[in-house]
């Protein structure tokens, strides 16, 4: 279920855990961005929700939207329950698709500390950080009732033998 504001009612407990999302069915929508800031994020998020509803596809965690931004383009992903559909925008995540989660509690302006924390933890264990996915678990409308602003950071990573060797050499 999602709340009236569109936020997820429940979300996965992935705080400080490594999760392999590989092989999961997703629906992705490309969105415009300017200097890593999504343009019309809520509009695209709502359109995606309506599209999934029309197609009869169910989300694993309703309302959980993963956002990945770039310099001029971005992408929003929703994890879906297994289904067979000819719809466009459906993809399976590659195997393996490891992510490290961090539940950031606070405003988006303070998110950089959480991102650095995840990245340094990955590097210290010899894992190469890749792209960053962000999921807003609360909005300004429901944040106060749900214990403040919450943002789930998911940093994709891959094993790096060369990085592990360098880290072991230093330590």
Instruction: Output DSSP code: residue 162.
Output: H
> pLDDT of the chain along its 171 residues, tens only?
677 777 888 888 899 999 999 999 999 999 999 998 999 999 999 999 999 999 999 999 999 999 999 999 999 999 999 998 888 899 999 999 999 999 999 988 999 999 999 999 999 999 999 999 999 998 878 878 888 899 999 999 999 999 888 888 886
Task: Quickly count helices (H) and strands (E) in the chain.
Answer: 3, 9
The label of the residue with tokens 């709340």 reads: 3
Domain ranges of the chain: 1-22+94-171, 24-92
Identify the CA nearest to 32 among candidates 15, 49, 44, 17.
44
**48 CB neighbour count, 10 Å cutoff:** 19
Q: Are 42 and 109 in contact (CB under 8 A)?
A: no
Q: What phi, psi does 137 have (nearest 5°)?
A: -90, -20
């Amino acid at each position: 279920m999602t709340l009236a504001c569109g936020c997820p009612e429940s979300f996965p407990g992935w705080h400080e855990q490594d999760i392999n999302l590989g092989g999961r069915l997703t629906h992705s929508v490309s969105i415009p961005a300017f200097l890593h800031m999504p343009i019309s994020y809520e509009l695209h998020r709502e359109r995606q929700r309506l599209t999934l509803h029309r197609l009869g596809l169910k989300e694993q965690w309703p309302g959980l939207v993963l956002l990945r931004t770039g310099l001029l383009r971005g992408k929003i992903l929703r994890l879906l329950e297994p289904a067979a559909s000819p719809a466009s925008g459906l993809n399976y995540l590659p195997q393996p698709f490891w992510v490290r989660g961090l539940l950031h509690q606070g405003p988006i302006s303070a998110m950089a500390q959480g991102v650095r924390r995840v990245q340094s933890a990955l590097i210290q264990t010899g894992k190469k950080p890749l792209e960053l996915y962000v999921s807003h678990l609360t909005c300004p409308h429901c944040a106060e009732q749900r214990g403040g602003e919450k943002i789930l950071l998911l940093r994709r990573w891959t094993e790096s033998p060369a990085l592990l060797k360098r880290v072991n050499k230093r330590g």
